[in-house]
Amino acid sequence: MKIIDRLNEDKIHISFEVFPPKTDAGFEKVLEATDQIASLKPSYISVTYGAGGGTSKNTARIASHIKEDLGVLSLAHLTCASSTKEEVRQVIANLKQLGIENILALRGDIPEGMVFPTGDRFRYAWELVEEIRMHGDFCIGAACYPEGHVENEHKADDIRYLKQKVDSGVDFLTTQMFFDNDIHYNFLYRIREAGITVPVLPGIMPITSASQMKRSQELSGTVFPRRFLSLLDRFGNYPDAMMQAGIAYATDQIIDLLANGVKNIHIYSMNKPDVAAKIMENLSEIIQC
């Protein structure tokens, strides 16, 4: 089944994301976490792609396990900055052979020290989207950035590039994490005005530790609202309290989104089934409405 068909259903959908282990030694542990998250019956589970090929070989294995063994829709990430065009084509062929129907097409981070772009690599995500379209009947997702992509100085340029990417064959979008829902609502208004009509899943990340917040800010440059910073100041030195507060904050974001008509939510669960389970418990009655 294709994810876009599920997203178009008139009901609430909650999905989660997992990431492959950095080494093969951690594979079983990640698989265990994935199994526990799958037991929560999400609409689908996405599997991230390792930069430079370090963990990318496990993306297809985990995505196939989710689909074939756990009976849950899977979404395999595919990035192109760290791989040659031929390597990308090999990954697409492997996913097709495994029966994976859903791919999240990303440019990905440029590996440190690499001269980019080069002639044997895709420069933009829209080029990757076009390549995927040429090799099979995949459902293709892509990323979007409510606060603007860090490489684009002007938000108008950001939306123009996003429109180009969607027009290349994207079926749905997933946002980068954000912590102020007003940013998301404003973003939706601007992209709809620009003619981008595909489903957009808000990406919610439960921040359950001070170190996780620092890492998230380094990776995404996202803005943390005063309300969240106050929570961190008060509970950041108390791990159990911070986890509870972070889960409550993420739950509150999700409830607000659902109350305002958003039906599809993607949660960056960071391979933490306990966090995912608590959020689903908090939403148990709400998602039935």
Give the active site residues: 17
Whether omega for the bond prior to residue 199 falls within 30 degrees of 0, making it cis, is: no
Bridging pattern class, strands 172-177 and 102-106: unpaired
Q: In angstroms, rounded to a whole number, what is the distance separating the alpha carbons of residues 168 and 161?
A: 11
By CB atoms closer than 10 A (0-12, 13-18, 19+), residue 133 is middle
User: DSSP string covering 183-249, please?
Assistant: HHHHHHHHHHHTT--S-EEEEE----SHHHHHHHHHHH-PPPPHHHHHHHHHHTT-HHHHHHHHHHH
Rounded Cα distance, 184 and 256, in Å: 11
Q: Which is nearest to 75 in space by CA: 144, 146, 19, 8? A: 19
CA–CA dist 59, 45 (Å, integer): 12
Q: In the chain, what are the helix, strand and coil shares in percent, each to the nearest 5? A: 50, 15, 35
The span from the CA of 229 to the CA of 208, in Å, is 13
The residue whose two tokens read 């933490």 is 272
Distance of CA 104 to the CA centre of its chain: 8
